[in-house]
């Protein structure tokens, strides 16, 4: 069996999207934490695209800057559309960027974020198998709205008519054009040159990419791939659409994780972003939001409303309600929260406890260490099995620079202590409650720094 | 074109609502933080009503007290219904309060909270244009439940028959009476006098307001306005209805904001109350609740589960997850939370930072000031660019009175300090970590108040 | 009228449930905090079952351990199915455990958690009234999926055909077998012996319990009880089903509480577990989760995202947003939170205030006591009307043992104090802000323990 040839993908991303009412171009609006164009590029790459040609116009620097920071940036070649003369013109602007070593070119929309890689791959393979020059995705809708309608004769696709140009009879048709195409690269060059060299002839005075279909129908043939799930091809033109597309993406992800053994107490209120990796027997309570590059090990329970971004959570951990984690790691069998805040660089070992109202930043807790209540640990190292008492604060900032605090294995920091960095508390050392520790405490020593108590009798007024 | 004449509005609000199982009368139950009667009154005023006549009975003092505290209280004239003899009797109790300078009188229900001002205005104008004496709102329902049915002959409305009095054939009718009327004031006086001076003749032995329709049909004519969205006319009789009406109101508000450029990550879990004002490019994460008189500036992101009431949030601010704000102001580009609590009188300037586990009450932070961790600032003023260290507490209460703390511009408060008010820390002054500051610290001075550290070696038992 | 005879109930609970992809057997997966088998057993008992015979196989020790710890454990008699040869074989394994003093035996599935007690009771009574030997629950589904189909002739049930064995015509039937039976005990013994003593004859080579129906149809008769709500009989085979069953259970509970006078601001995001008891005029904000054995008194408002487990909340209390309570009691008119954490043994009296970032464990607050900010109270007693200042910490743990703190009535603990247990502060005594209290403070005395302040001028660099 011959390997399916690969393809290159053009992505239409030049439009501002005025109905978004935004200072940000439409394709940079996010679905589950990722700009729409990111979803489209990644789906194309996963479906087998060898290179991506985004067509940029408005805010092209912002879009390019986003794409440049992706791991796949070497597969991107930007094309520019200086003025917007229609969809055919947009693709025409990309012709110079096409490489003929790819026999097929996909044309995708940067504002259709939910066309997934498996479907795109299936569509590509079906188009190749059809032998036709153009494949297009269509959908049968109960309400075809303002989509372009697919005109068929003897069941063969003849043309697309845009809604604005359609007759009442044509508007009654329910098969619509999703705006997603696979085209033989050679035919694409030829057809677009034809379209751009003749006058426009439509309600909007634009060069229509959909004229491609009539040209192909008259020549090397058109293949229509009717999609099974219409949400996959819905475009985003306003924030209502954005919310709907987000909801669909969210439900699709949650559905897949449930079938792989993740319990969602309430999938309708749980957000798991695209790149998150879960394990069987993870339990997610309502309102959990797992974002960015986050992974969670087996048997871990994440309670209500926990927000986790770019973090690695080990197996059999317990993240209690209302916690907030970013760029942190949590070891196996460790308990976090409720109301814990792990900031970037928090590295919590195995069998640790980080309790309520504790903030940890750029700090490592070795296995078995505890910080159970009302503490701030920043730029610190906490040894194995050390116990950080309630109300402990590492004074890591003196107004000009940050310094480091070191707490040894098995040390015990009494409650309400301030550790003025740079400072070190030795292994198995003690700090008395309420102390301000400015000098190092040796191993196994007691450091204490507080005023002596005196009582003044009869202070209260007689009643 | 002649200006549309204004109208006065009667609101039926005397019933207790036994199916609510509540110590509170039905019309005071809230939809999105506002009693139902408040929604009805405001819709009437916005639709152009010149004055409002609520008909009160049960708990009339509580309802009156609510209305008296509204900005529109001067437009309210209460009518009393001492005993409840039916809807016609209720309106009859308001006749003395009607003013004939208003040619039209609306009759509204205090438990139908989602009839919005634009629709009410359109209904009023259509009734006036019809030239008929009575306009009524109807709806075509798949399941007409126990609503009164609209009887038509030759397509003209003849009468309303209550569900309890309806024949099986009548119950099969799907057009129902929504209980919302616009009536020529003169006809209303005349018709109600007729109704109240003849015996009742129905299953409930009550004086039916709906008899108005048959009287008008026999005389000056009836105009039926079929509503386009049935949720707008749904009444609330129990908490299930209350939840549904809340959900509808919530979705309608969110829908409108989305079309105006607000991003909702999950509109189904986000509550934006009626009087809240948002801006384009505001981003609302799931579980956010914006209540009361709150406004949010453009580009501001509000993370998950943040609760904000009666607060003003500037543009490009960032309110992190789980924060709780009431009667606070937050300046532009300021970051709040996660887990921050701004209480009434918190005034946070531009480019400030209020971090986790920080509570602020009746305190002003000038631009650029920071209180990043585990602090309580009450009755204080914090100068420009001052830094309040972790664990700082203003001791503003001595058991009998509250006093004020003043922190100068550029001051640095070391961690875990207590500032015993009344006290002042000067501009660019320092406070040493762990200090209890009871005396003023001059500008640029260091104030320090803590015990000296001593270490006791070999405190720990040998292992 | 003769009392309806009671019944015994077999519960099929031996299967692992491979599609759950779990280390835990299917029937121990939870719906609203209770294992599915717990729901089934409790519904059977509430419907009148005198005893329960769970048939266990995989992980039988874990299931038995769960059941042994229930209050109804004396009504349980475990039967074992060593190898899994089909549903008839499973029930066959229970025959020795059946008692003939129960004329009827219910056969229930441990993975059908939403068949509620009232319906089960109605089904039982209808079967008894029918006089037939076997009653089965059926449902008419739009999409019969892979359920067994009910074959009828002259409207009489003749047999069940499993989906895998069904012809296309049979698969077109929409009446399905829910797998819930009431069988005369004597007939059950007889029929199962017949089934197990003849060869299997089906696609799966298993002994089918559904053959019972054909045997009864040929003899003492079959009674079919068509259920009114299909969600009640939906089985759980994967986590998607589990989420759906949870959602249905949740909505059913919330619906019932709304009709009894509880306000849900957003029922779709609120979880109230099965055993929770609410009162009229309780108001639940979005995202609230009430778990375990929790009760809430009338007029109490519980704000957004509050998590409460196994706690007793008095009337007219106010639990503010984001609080987290477990095994606590809260008195009338007390205010808790926002961001409060009440751990097991927290006993908060009437008219108390527990404010933000306060953690309370194994501690009693007498009426009127306050701990408003940033405190940890563990193993303590706080007297009537005492005021615990911001940042107070009870140092209840010295690294080896826990000790007790006692605060007298009317005492005032200054902010940022550490109380080193065991220690006692007397009635109406004061503690100065920032003190570390290691010795008892007598009644009405002032205890103070802190360093003296000194100021060092011109500490800051000149600018």
Percent of chain C topping pLDDT 70: 98
Q: What is the mean pLDDT of chain C?
A: 95
- The predicted model scores a pTM of 0.96
**How far is C324 from C262, CA to CA, in rounded Å?**
21
Dig out the tokens for B418 from the structure: 């207590």
Phi and psi angles of residue B16, each rounded to the nearest 5 degrees, phi first: -75, -40
Percent of chain C topping pLDDT 90: 93
> Does B373 sit within 8 Å of A374, measured CB to CB?
no
Return the residue of A nearest to B284 by Cα.
A243
**How far is B207 from B190, CA to CA, in rounded Å?**
15
Neighbouring residues of C78: CB distance < 8 A, sequence distance ≥ 6? C53, C54, C56, C60, C64, C67
> Does A359 sit within 8 Å of B374, measured CB to CB?
yes
Return the residue of A nearest to B339 by Cα.
A339
Percent of chain B topping pLDDT 90: 93
CB B345 within 8 A of CB B312: no
> Does A304 sit within 8 Å of C305, measured CB to CB?
yes
**How far is C101 from B130, CA to CA, in rounded Å?**
77
Most A CBs within 10 Å: which of B460, B461, B462, B463, as the mutation test of the A interface? B460
Phi and psi angles of residue C49, each rounded to the nearest 5 degrees, phi first: -60, 135
Dig out the tokens for B254 from the structure: 């969110």
The Cα diameter of chain A in Å comes to 105
Of the candidates C265, C281, C357, the beta carbon closest to that of B246 is on C265
**How far is B174 from B143, CA to CA, in rounded Å?**
7
Of the candidates C242, C376, C444, the beta carbon closest to that of A390 is on C376
pLDDT of residue B398: 85
pLDDT of residue B416: 95
Q: Report the pLDDT averaged over residues C107-121.
A: 98
- In sequence order, the β-bridge partners of residue A222 are A134
pLDDT of residue C204: 76
pLDDT of residue C2: 46
Res. C462 pLDDT band, cuts 50 70 90: low
**How far is B333 from B462, CA to CA, in rounded Å?**
55
Res. C1 pLDDT band, cuts 50 70 90: very low
Dig out the tokens for B225 from the structure: 């306005």
ipTM summary value:
0.96
Alpha carbon of B447: minimum distance to chain C alpha carbons (Å):
4
Of the candidates B281, B286, B389, the beta carbon closest to that of A287 is on B286
Residue B322 has pLDDT above 70, yes or no: yes
Residue C3 has pLDDT above 60, yes or no: no
Res. B203 pLDDT band, cuts 50 70 90: confident
pLDDT tens digits, C175-225? 999 999 999 999 999 999 999 998 887 777 889 999 999 999 999 999 999
Residue B252 has pLDDT above 50, yes or no: yes
Residues of A in contact with B280 (CB under 8 A): 21-23
Residue B4 has pLDDT above 60, yes or no: no
pLDDT of residue A1: 40
Spans of chain A, pLDDT less than 70: 1-5, 462-463
Angle between helical axes of B117-130 and B36-46 (0-180°, round to 10): 50
Q: What is the mean pLDDT of chain B?
A: 95
Residues of C in contact with B239 (CB under 8 A): 258-259, 261-264
Give Cα separations from B362 to B195, B342, C121, C418 (angstroms): 59, 9, 60, 26
Concerning whether C373 is annotated as a catalytic residue, the answer is yes
Of the candidates C243, C375, C449, the beta carbon closest to that of A452 is on C449
Res. B1 pLDDT band, cuts 50 70 90: very low
pLDDT tens digits, B371-398? 999 999 999 999 999 999 999 999 998 8
pLDDT of residue C463: 58
Alpha carbon of A243: minimum distance to chain C alpha carbons (Å):
18
Distance of CA B359 to the CA centre of its chain: 25
From C163, C316, C373, C428, active-site residue: C373
Dig out the tokens for C65 from the structure: 């351990």
pLDDT of residue A203: 73
pLDDT tens digits, B23-47? 999 999 999 999 999 999 999 999 9
């Amino acid at each position: 069996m011959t390997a399916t040839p690969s393809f290159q993908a053009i992505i239409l991303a030049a439009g501002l999207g005025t109905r978004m009412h935004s200072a940000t171009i439409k394709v940079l609006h996010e679905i589950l934490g990722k700009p729409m164009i990111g979803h489209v590029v990644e789906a194309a790459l996963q479906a087998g695209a060898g290179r991506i040609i985004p067509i940029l116009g408005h805010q092209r620097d912002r879009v390019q800057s986003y794409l440049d920071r992706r791991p796949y940036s070497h597969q991107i070649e930007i094309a520019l559309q200086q003025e917007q003369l229609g969809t055919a013109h947009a693709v025409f602007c990309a012709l110079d960027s096409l490489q003929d070593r790819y026999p097929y070119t996909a044309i995708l929309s940067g504002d259709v974020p939910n066309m997934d890689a498996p479907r795109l791959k299936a569509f590509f393979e079906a188009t190749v198998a059809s032998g036709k020059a153009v494949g297009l995705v269509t959908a049968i809708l109960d309400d075809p709205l303002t989509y372009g309608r697919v005109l068929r004769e003897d069941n063969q696709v003849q043309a697309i008519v845009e809604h604005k140009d359609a007759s009442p009879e044509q508007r009654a048709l329910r098969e619509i054009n999703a705006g997603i195409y696979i085209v033989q690269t050679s035919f694409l060059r030829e057809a677009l040159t034809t379209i751009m060299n003749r006058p426009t002839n439509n309600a909007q005075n634009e060069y229509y990419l959909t004229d491609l279909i009539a040209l192909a129908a008259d020549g090397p043939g058109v293949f229509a791939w009717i999609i099974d799930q219409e949400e996959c091809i819905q475009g985003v033109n306003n924030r209502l659409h954005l919310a709907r597309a987000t909801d669909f993406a969210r439900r699709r992800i949650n559905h897949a994780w449930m079938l792989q053994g993740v319990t969602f107490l309430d999938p309708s209120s749980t957000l798991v972003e695209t790149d998150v990796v879960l394990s069987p027997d993870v339990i997610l309570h309502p309102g959990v939001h797992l974002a960015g590059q986050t992974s969670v090990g087996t048997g871990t329970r994440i309670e209500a409303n926990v927000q986790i971004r770019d973090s690695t959570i080990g197996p059999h951990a317990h993240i209690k309600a209302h916690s907030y984690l970013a760029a942190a790691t949590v070891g196996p069998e460790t308990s976090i929260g409720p109301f814990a805040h792990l900031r970037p660089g928090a590295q919590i070992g195995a069998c640790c406890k980080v309790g309520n109202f504790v903030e940890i930043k750029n700090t490592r807790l070795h296995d078995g260490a505890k910080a159970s209540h009302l503490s701030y640990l920043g730029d610190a190292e906490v040894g194995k099995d050390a116990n950080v008492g309630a109300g402990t604060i590492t004074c890591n900032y003196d107004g000009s620079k940050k310094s480091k605090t070191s707490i040894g294995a098995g040390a015990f920091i009494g409650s309400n202590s301030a550790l003025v960095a740079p400072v070190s508390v030795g292994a198995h050392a003690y700090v008395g409650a309420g102390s301000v520790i400015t000098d190092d405490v040796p191993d196994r020593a007691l450091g204490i720094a507080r005023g002596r108590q005196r009582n003044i009798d009869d202070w209260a007024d007689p009643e």
